[in-house]
């Protein structure tokens, strides 16, 4: 629960309810809006940012000052351990100083995403005595917070109890208490929701969601999600010094082959039969359509629709002839177009996806075999060693897509020694690089959005990855308990799975009398949210772990 | 599980002549010592095995810690140094053995806390759940096994043996979910009675009410555990009692005109209990390992859950620590089982 160390999705979500940040996504537009910083200015060259910190109070009554923010950032810049959670966020900071309520951040290079700073501002007076940050677990309750809630009790992997912060600058939240309860087992969490042990449950799989759909007491919440699922194609993995690594199939270096694969995929069928209809076929790239501003969709000539005939034609023209067995071979030799598809062990949904893709590719003379890897091995082979042909991937995208775009930069490839890394595609493309650098410098929002869309277009046409669908956000809450809750964005957005505290700040519940045969007999003035923890049943382990890895973007909203 | 030194033991055993109380006592001591020696050897092997096997697992621990985040080579190096992974393997091994002997199991990569503390926190809940489960399973198994074996072939025998075998073969996970649905959530008119998550309510009351709260949380996990494991006690008890029934001494006891249940209680059962005792001891070792599946179904904060999480990260130090604890417990309990058996059964001594 130490925000300097926390990388787990669960803890970072809860920190969003506990601490103020410089800015917060607006509940309607998702654009950065004032949080602890009530206003800000940028210098002409984009290198100096000045934030005016609002006259708010910590939950213990002390005033929030720019000094708190400066201390937080400086701590991260000087203490290696304090970098653990959000180190990259301050990488580009030259210096951070405070004067009264003014916080001045000087940058080494322009950074348009400055308003998406993912660092919770911590109270200097409560934290400066911590000397050994690496081993500090922050087990002091109640916490000194500036967000809507204060943590008052925490039992590792069991629950976190939060109370409304009476000093919160927007005003005290409507409910007095919020309990976040961890489940190791998704089935138990669903059973808990059905029984009324918990009031709200987020992030279900389509199969889990179907189990609550017909329950009269439960509002099944099905909206566009913030996640894109895509195929990574090993189009020639290299390290940052451009040396080839891995054993990817040479045919995948050919753009025509990648395009043919794209034409061969019936995305609608995948949505209907793999995701039980609870997703949207992807006609764009890695930014899902819920982000209306940033979403880019292919149109006209560029748009790739399911067309196996076209795929066959492309491959024929490029010289990949079909052999007697119906499998194509490389134009210059006898190597067949036989690709491996890397998925995670024990993830039924990926198994199903593999079956469908195998059938689609067979139509165009390509053989696909499935390789299952355990999660950490998967990460290594598809992100570092490049030992794969095609692999499944996905990312939960933040209101600002810069971070997810950055995972396709040249510099994100592994270093010559296998160090560093964090690539999603081993992509390294001059056009893409230039667009990325341009958007970093572009402080004019519409212009920057245009650049980010061009980057998506580049990913779409070059196809180092092929987006297949955008999964829906599947949640559920008790109709008989929750009287109102505002999603984020407010127009049919997300609840727990959303970015920011908005739904939990606005939620209101029926008063105590709600008799639901509860056993504990405690207070009923609050909301009890269930969370399926990071540790899970054997069957779903890999899926959740991947999600945790892939969701690291969550920690950077 | 037998210890590697077993081959060396008959000489020690033969030295103790039957009937001589003092030398029998000394024989047992010597026997116990040789067993303890064997156990120590096994533990040493486990120490070596633990260290090297876990290093063969795929994945770079530092990179896994980063969980896909972009870390600079400097950060990775620092992390590596902090974890002592920059030293030569042999040095790491020596450090590991030294620390372990001092009961320092290192710091968990994931939790950033001493492994021993984490284990300490989880040991209580595991002992509570698995221990209670074991006691119930053993008592139930022995009672049913005795009744079934004494009158084997009867309807009670067929029913209880059949039911226990059925439960034994059912997947634990499935059974756990079934019990959760029936007794936790409730089906149709049957309301759910028992909680099915965690060891206590979030708003747990104090005092005696707290004990009741924990007890109610234990019902379903305990039931699942017992249902799945009690068959083995039943079957062992049943078959060994059936063997005793055909022995001459039972016939003699009956011929003396003793009442049937007296023959059973005073003569047959004590002898038939011996194999069950071994089984119980062996089981106690595994109790420490917890019941991973049951703990996962019911989000029980025990060791099994901790070990499972350590593997999924993977968190080397935590894995090492929990694995060591579990194996050492199993070895110690096996050794104890051997010694106790030796004390209880003269046949082992004179064999």
- The CATH number of whichever domain residue B101 belongs to comes to 1.10.3720.10
Identify whether B10 is part of a domain: no
Q: Is B202 within 8 Å of chain A by CB?
A: yes
* Tokens (6 digits) for B266: 């005073």
pLDDT at residue B79 in the model:
72
> Residue A146 in contact with residue A495, Cβ under 8 Å?
no
Distance from CA of A199 to the nearest CA of B (A): 14
Residue A517 to residue B192, Cβ atoms within 8 A: yes
Give the HSE-up count for residue B243: Cα atoms under 13 Å, Cβ half-sphere: 12
Predicted confidence (pLDDT) at residue B13 exceeds the cutoff of 50? no
The DSSP string of B62-91 is HHHHHTT----HHHHHHHHHHTTTTS-HHH
The arithmetic mean of pLDDT across residues B8-12, rounded, is: 38
Residue A545 to residue B198, Cβ atoms within 8 A: no
Distance from CA of B75 to the nearest CA of A (A): 8
- Chain B interface, best mutation among A1, A130, A138, A157, by max B CB count within 10 A: A157
Nearest CA in chain B to A519: B195
Predicted confidence (pLDDT) at residue A390 exceeds the cutoff of 60? yes
Q: Is B22 within 8 Å of chain A by CB?
A: no
Identify whether B210 is part of a domain: yes
Q: Which of A182, A188, A549 sits opposite B297 (nearest CB)?
A: A188
Residue A376 to residue B314, Cβ atoms within 8 A: yes
* Contact residues, chain B, for A534 at CB < 8 Å: 309
Distance from CA of B209 to the nearest CA of A (A): 10
Distance from CA of A341 to the nearest CA of B (A): 19
Q: Is B197 within 8 Å of chain A by CB?
A: yes
Residue B213 to residue A519, Cβ atoms within 8 A: yes
* Tokens (6 digits) for A43: 């210098």
* Tokens (6 digits) for A357: 């893709």
Vertex B343: Cα angle to B341 and B346 (nearest 5): 90
Distance from CA of A37 to the nearest CA of B (A): 27
The arithmetic mean of pLDDT across residues A324-336, rounded, is: 91
Range scoring the smallest mean pLDDT among A10-24, A303-317, A458-472, B272-286: B272-286
Residues 6+ apart with CB under 8 A from B16: B23, B24, B26, B27, B28, B30, B349
Rounded Cα gap, residues A54 and B345, in angstroms: 80
Residue A184 to residue B296, Cβ atoms within 8 A: yes
Q: Which of B58, B173, B197 sits opposite A181 (nearest CB)?
A: B197
Rounded Cα gap, residues B271 and A60, in angstroms: 69
> Residue A250 in contact with residue A335, Cβ under 8 Å?
yes
Per-chain mean pLDDT for chain A = 87
Rounded Cα gap, residues A541 and B294, in angstroms: 16
Predicted confidence (pLDDT) at residue A152 exceeds the cutoff of 90? yes
**Bigger pLDDT: B109 vs B183:** B183
Torsion of CA A348, A352, A354, A360, to 10 degrees: -170
The fraction of chain A above a pLDDT of 70, given in percent, is 91
Rounded Cα gap, residues B182 and B163, in angstroms: 19
pLDDT at residue B31 in the model:
85
* Contact residues, chain B, for A538 at CB < 8 Å: 173, 293, 296, 308
The rounded radius of gyration (Å) of the Cα atoms in chain A is 24
Where does the pLDDT of residue A199 fall: very low under 50, low under 70, confident under 90, or very high at 90 and above?
A: very high
pLDDT tens string A427-474: 999 999 999 999 999 989 999 999 999 999 999 999 999 999 999 999
pLDDT at residue B325 in the model:
86
Residue B195 to residue A519, Cβ atoms within 8 A: yes
Rounded Cα gap, residues A344 and A350, in angstroms: 7
Distance from CA of B345 to the nearest CA of A (A): 42
pLDDT tens string B141-169: 999 999 999 888 899 999 999 999 999 99
Residue B166: domain span? 30-70+83-349
Nearest CA in chain B to A413: B70
CA B12 from chain center: how many Å? 30
Rounded Cα gap, residues A203 and A222, in angstroms: 10
The arithmetic mean of pLDDT across residues A114-123, rounded, is: 92
Distance from CA of A202 to the nearest CA of B (A): 17
pLDDT tens string A501-539: 899 899 988 865 433 333 333 344 678 888 775 432 222
Predicted confidence (pLDDT) at residue B72 exceeds the cutoff of 80? no
Residue B216 to residue A375, Cβ atoms within 8 A: no
Rounded Cα gap, residues A129 and A92, in angstroms: 27
**Residue A54: count of CB within 10 angstroms of its CB:** 16
Where does the pLDDT of residue B136 fall: very low under 50, low under 70, confident under 90, or very high at 90 and above?
A: very high
Predicted confidence (pLDDT) at residue B19 exceeds the cutoff of 50? no
The arithmetic mean of pLDDT across residues A269-276, rounded, is: 95
Q: Which of A155, A191, A420 sits opposite B184 (nearest CB)?
A: A191
Nearest CA in chain B to A406: B70
- Chain B interface, best mutation among A189, A197, A387, A530, by max B CB count within 10 A: A197
The arithmetic mean of pLDDT across residues B190-210, rounded, is: 88
**CB environment A217-236: b (16+ within 10 A), e (fewer):** bbbbbbbbbbbbbbbbbbbb
Where does the pLDDT of residue B60 fall: very low under 50, low under 70, confident under 90, or very high at 90 and above?
A: low
Vertex B41: Cα angle to B35 and B45 (nearest 5): 140
Q: Is B203 within 8 Å of chain A by CB?
A: yes
Range scoring the smallest mean pLDDT among A415-429, A520-534, B11-25, B102-116: B11-25
The arithmetic mean of pLDDT across residues A266-272, rounded, is: 97
**Residue A524: count of CB within 10 angstroms of its CB:** 21
pLDDT tens string A128-146: 999 888 778 777 899 999 9
pLDDT at residue A424 in the model:
87
Identify whether B49 is part of a domain: yes
pLDDT at residue A434 in the model:
97
Nearest CA in chain A to B308: A535
Beta bridge partners of B332: none
Q: Which of B69, B113, B202 sits opposite A161 (nearest CB)?
A: B202
The arithmetic mean of pLDDT across residues A138-158, rounded, is: 89
* Tokens (6 digits) for B25: 């006592």
Residue A523 to residue B213, Cβ atoms within 8 A: no
pLDDT at residue A64 in the model:
96
Q: Would you tell me the crossing angle of helices A255-264 and A348-363 to the nearest 10 degrees?
A: 110
Predicted confidence (pLDDT) at residue B101 exceeds the cutoff of 60? yes
Residue B297 to residue A538, Cβ atoms within 8 A: no
- Chain B interface, best mutation among A130, A158, A545, by max B CB count within 10 A: A158
Under 8 Å CB pairs connecting chains A and B tally to 151
Identify whether B296 is part of a domain: yes
pLDDT at residue A396 in the model:
83
pLDDT at residue B69 in the model:
52
Q: Which of A185, A384, A548 sits opposite B297 (nearest CB)?
A: A185
Where does the pLDDT of residue B16 fall: very low under 50, low under 70, confident under 90, or very high at 90 and above?
A: very low
Taking only residues 231 to 290 of chain B, the set having a beta carbon closer than 8 angstroms to any beta carbon of chain A reads: none
**Bigger pLDDT: A205 vs A328:** A328
Phi/psi at A205 (5° precision): -85, 165
pLDDT at residue B108 in the model:
80
Q: Is B59 within 8 Å of chain A by CB?
A: yes
- Chain B interface, best mutation among A182, A378, A519, by max B CB count within 10 A: A519
- Chain B interface, best mutation among A76, A81, A151, A195, by max B CB count within 10 A: A195
Distance from CA of B285 to the nearest CA of A (A): 23
| Helix locations, A332-468, DSSP H | 348-363, 375-380, 402-406, 430-441, 445-462
A248: left (phi over 0), alpha (psi -120 to 50) or beta: beta
Report the domain count for chain B.
1
Per-chain mean pLDDT for chain B = 82
pLDDT tens string B316-345: 788 888 888 888 888 988 888 888 888 877
pLDDT tens string A212-226: 998 999 999 999 999
- Chain A interface, best mutation among B70, B201, B206, by max A CB count within 10 A: B70
Predicted confidence (pLDDT) at residue B24 exceeds the cutoff of 70? no
Beta bridge partners of A344: A373
Look at residue A258 and give its three-state secondary structure. Answer: helix
Q: Tell me which residue has tokens 């799989």.
A: A205
Q: Would you tell me the crossing angle of helices B115-150 and B316-344 to the nearest 10 degrees?
A: 40
Residues 6+ apart with CB under 8 A from A556: A86, A88, A89, A116, A118, A398, A403
> Residue B183 in contact with residue A195, Cβ under 8 Å?
no
* Contact residues, chain A, for B204 at CB < 8 Å: 520
Torsion of CA A274, A278, A284, A286, to 10 degrees: -80
pLDDT at residue A8 in the model:
67
Identify whether B2 is part of a domain: no
Rounded Cα gap, residues A305 and A311, in angstroms: 10
């Amino acid at each position: 629960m130490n925000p300097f160390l926390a990388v787990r999705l669960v803890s970072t979500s809860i920190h969003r309810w506990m601490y103020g940040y410089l800015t917060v996504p607006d509940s309607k537009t998702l654009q950065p809006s004032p949080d602890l910083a009530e206003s800000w200015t940028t210098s002409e060259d984009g290198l100096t940012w000045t934030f005016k910190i609002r006259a708010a109070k910590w939950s213990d009554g002390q005033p929030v000052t720019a000094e708190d923010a400066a201390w937080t950032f400086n701590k991260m810049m000087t203490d290696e351990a304090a970098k653990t959670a959000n180190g990259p966020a301050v990488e580009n900071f030259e210096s951070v100083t405070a004067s009264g309520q003014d916080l001045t951040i000087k940058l080494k290079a322009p950074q348009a995403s400055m308003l998406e700073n993912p660092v919770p501002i911590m109270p200097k007076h409560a934290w400066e005595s911590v000397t050994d940050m690496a081993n500090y677990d922050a087990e002091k309750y109640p916490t000194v917070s500036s967000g809507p809630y204060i943590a008052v009790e925490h039992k590792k992997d069991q629950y976190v109890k939060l109370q409304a912060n009476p000093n919160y600058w927007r005003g005290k939240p409507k409910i007095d208490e919020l309990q976040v309860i961890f489940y190791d087992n998704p089935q138990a969490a669903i059973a808990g929701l059905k029984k009324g042990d918990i009031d709200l449950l987020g992030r279900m799989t389509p199969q889990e969601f179907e189990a609550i759909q017909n329950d009269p007491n439960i509002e099944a919440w099905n909206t566009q999600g913030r996640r894109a699922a895509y195929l990574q194609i090993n189009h020639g993995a290299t390290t940052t010094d451009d040396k080839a690594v891995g054993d990817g199939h040479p045919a995948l270096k050919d753009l025509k082959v990648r395009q043919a694969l794209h034409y061969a995929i019936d995305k609608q069928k995948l949505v209907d039969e793999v995701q039980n209809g609870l997703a949207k076929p992807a006609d764009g790239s890695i930014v899902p359509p819920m982000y209306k501003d940033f979403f880019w969709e292919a149109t006209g000539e560029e748009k790739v629709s399911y067309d196996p005939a076209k795929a066959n034609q492309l491959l024929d023209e490029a010289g990949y002839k079909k052999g007697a067995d119906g499998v194509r071979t490389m134009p210059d030799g006898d190597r067949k177009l036989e690709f491996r598809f890397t998925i995670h062990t024990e993830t039924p949904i990926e198994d199903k996806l593999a079956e469908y893709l195998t059938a689609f590719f067979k139509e165009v003379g390509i053989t696909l075999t499935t390789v299952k890897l355990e999660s950490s091995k998967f990460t290594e082979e598809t992100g570092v060693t490049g030992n794969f042909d095609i692999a499944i991937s996905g990312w939960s995208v933040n209101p600002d897509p810069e971070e997810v775009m950055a995972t396709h930069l040249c510099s994100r490839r592994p270093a010559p020694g296998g160090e560093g890394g964090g690539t999603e595609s081993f992509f390294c493309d001059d056009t893409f690089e230039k667009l990325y650098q341009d958007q970093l410098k572009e402080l004019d929002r519409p212009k920057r959005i245009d650049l980010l869309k061009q980057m998506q277009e580049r990913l779409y046409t070059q196809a180092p990855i092929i987006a297949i669908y955008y999964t829906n956000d599947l949640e559920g809450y008790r109709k008989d308990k929750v009287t109102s809750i505002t999603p984020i964005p407010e127009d049919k957005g997300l609840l727990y799975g959303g970015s920011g505290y908005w739904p939990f700040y606005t939620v209101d519940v029926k008063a105590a009398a709600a008799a639901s045969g509860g056993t504990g007999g405690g207070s009923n003035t609050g909301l009890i949210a269930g969370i399926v923890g990071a540790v899970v049943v054997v069957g779903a382990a890999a899926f959740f772990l991947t999600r945790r890895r892939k969701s690291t973007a969550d920690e950077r909203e | 599980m037998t210890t590697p030194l077993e081959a060396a033991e008959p000489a020690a055993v033969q030295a103790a002549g039957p009937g001589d109380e003092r030398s029998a006592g000394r024989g047992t001591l010597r026997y116990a010592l040789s067993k303890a020696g064997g156990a120590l050897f096994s533990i040493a092997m486990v120490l070596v095995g633990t260290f090297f096997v876990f290093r063969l697992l795929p994945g770079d621990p530092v990179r896994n810690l980063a969980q896909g985040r972009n870390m600079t080579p400097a950060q990775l190096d620092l992390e590596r140094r902090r974890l002592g992974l920059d030293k030569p393997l042999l040095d790491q091994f020596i450090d590991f053995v030294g620390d372990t002997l001092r009961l320092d199991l290192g710091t968990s990569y994931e939790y950033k806390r001493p492994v021993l503390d984490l284990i300490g926190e989880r040991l209580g809940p595991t002992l509570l759940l698995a221990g209670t489960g074991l006691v119930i399973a053993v008592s139930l198994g022995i009672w049913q096994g005795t009744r079934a074996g004494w009158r084997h072939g009867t309807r009670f025998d067929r029913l209880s043996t059949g039911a226990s075998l059925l439960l034994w073969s059912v997947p634990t996970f499935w059974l756990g979910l079934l019990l959760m649905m029936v007794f936790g959530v409730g089906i149709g008119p049957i309301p759910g009675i028992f909680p099915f998550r965690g060891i206590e309510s979030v708003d747990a009351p104090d005092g005696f009410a707290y004990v009741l709260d924990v007890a109610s949380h234990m019902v379903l996990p305990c039931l699942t555990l017992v249902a799945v494991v009690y068959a083995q006690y039943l079957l062992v008890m049943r078959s060994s009692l059936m063997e005793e029934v055909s022995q001459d001494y039972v016939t003699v006891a009956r011929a003396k005109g003793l009442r049937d249940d007296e023959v059973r209680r005073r003569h047959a059962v004590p002898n038939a209990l011996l194999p069950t005792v071994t089984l119980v001891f062996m089981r106690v070792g595994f109790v420490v390992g917890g019941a991973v599946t049951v703990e996962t179904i019911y989000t029980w904060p025990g060791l099994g859950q901790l070990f499972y999480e350590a593997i999924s990260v993977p968190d080397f130090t935590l894995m090492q620590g929990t694995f060591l604890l579990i194996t050492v417990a199993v070895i110690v309990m096996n050794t104890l089982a051997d010694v106790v058996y030796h004390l209880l059964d003269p046949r082992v001594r004179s064999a």
